[in-house]
Amino acid sequence: MSEVYDVIIVGGGAGGLSAGVYCARGKMKTLLLEASSNTGGQCAKTSELENYPGIIESTGPALMDRFRAHCEKFGVEFKRDMVTGLSTEEGGFIKRIETRSGETLLAKSVIIGTGANPRVLGIKGEKEFTAKGVSYCATCDADFYEDLDIVVVGSGNTAVEESVFLTKFVNSVKMIVLHDEGVLDADRTAQEQAFANDKISFIWNSCVDEICGEELVNGVKVKNLKTGEITDVECDGVFMFVGTVPNTGFLEGTIELAKGGYIKVDEKQETSMPGVFGAGDVCDKFLRQVVTAAGDGAVAAVAAERYIQEEEHWAESVLEAENDTLVAFWSPVDQKSLELMPSLEKVAADKGVKLVTVDTYKSQNIAGRYEVKEIPTVVRFSNGEPAKRLDTPEADQLESLF
């Protein structure tokens, strides 16, 4: 049988590496799977990085090398492979990961940090000038274009909002828009801000046909979609805001995905599959930056550790117990739960059974598994299965559990 890891992290970007540091430092047996030959995800493709707190100036690859070294210090195991499938073993606690190489890996928890890639249009010159005048992130790169002239491709909320943001740095912004004059895909508020900004102008009914330059971008060829006419537009950079594509194809039909294919997560970064967490740009979130991905990874790692502790304690104390067990689903801040506890302890002692308490806020997975909707709820387990149950009982009803 394959060894069972405490956690398998899928993806070696900022979110996955941050999770690796927290998991391994917490003494969890941790494996990080990375499909790319270079660890670091999108950040590793960023030539200059100036907005990660505490790092005054660095390159993306250099920062990600430090992330990886931090993981290695605490014993994270690295393996290069691509994940093709995710499922659970019988009972749901052990997760099964299938890889492109044909290997099957097992883990008690999984953290998915596979990231998202900027949508690439395939314009001539786009690939060649990426990071040399072609950018996909205003927050990352705006400062490098101070007092310069740029072109923005796109007209949705992101394109318009980022264009407004860019005007704080650049000399001018020309937005290349597919639609007729005055028509943008952004919401009304964003449109009004763009139209009112003196630094923003628009080239309507058009698309970028080619990005030009020598070592760096120095212009674009713009095609009018109605006339077919090609016009040369000088610029120092091109910002592409036509969406991103999350790397979640292997998850379809397995966990709940949001619009666009991003992973839906809660405040603990947990997905719809208990014990599976998301971190970084692959998640449905407001801001996709290195610092937010790192934060996601830390949250996911701590949540994964708590999940494993709860599940293992539950199995040992209840499911695998030789004798009957009395389980109280309660909350230490619920008055009725507090009032019932002395009677519960007395009944358990009189009957010679172990009393196990489950805080329904901290252990929502376990409470949900047994459809606990009210507290306190008391259940007598026998041979790992519920034998008798009382929802919001009075003290004089507890004897009936036996």
Residue numbers annotated as active site: 137, 140-141
Among all chains, which residue has been given the structure tokens 């929502």?
A: 364
Helix, strand counts (H, E) of the chain: 8, 21
Q: Prior bond to 386 cis, omega within 30?
A: no
d(C-alpha 174, C-alpha 169), whole Å:
14
Please give the structure tokens belonging to residue 106.
């097992």
The answer for residues whose C-beta is within 8 angstroms of residue 391's C-beta and 6 or more apart is 373, 374, 377
How many C-alpha atoms does 202 have within 13 Å on its Cβ side? 20
The residues pairing with 5 across neighbouring beta strands, listed in sequence order, are: 107
**CB of 109 within 8 A of CB of 276?**
yes
Residue pair 107/277 in contact (Cβ under 8 Å)? The answer is: no
For the record, the structure tokens of 293 come out as: 């991905």
Contacts for 117 with CB less than 8 Å, ≥ 6 apart: 42, 244, 245, 247
Report the Cα–Cα distance between both ends of the chain, in Å, rounded. Answer: 40
The secondary structure of residue 8, as a DSSP letter, is E
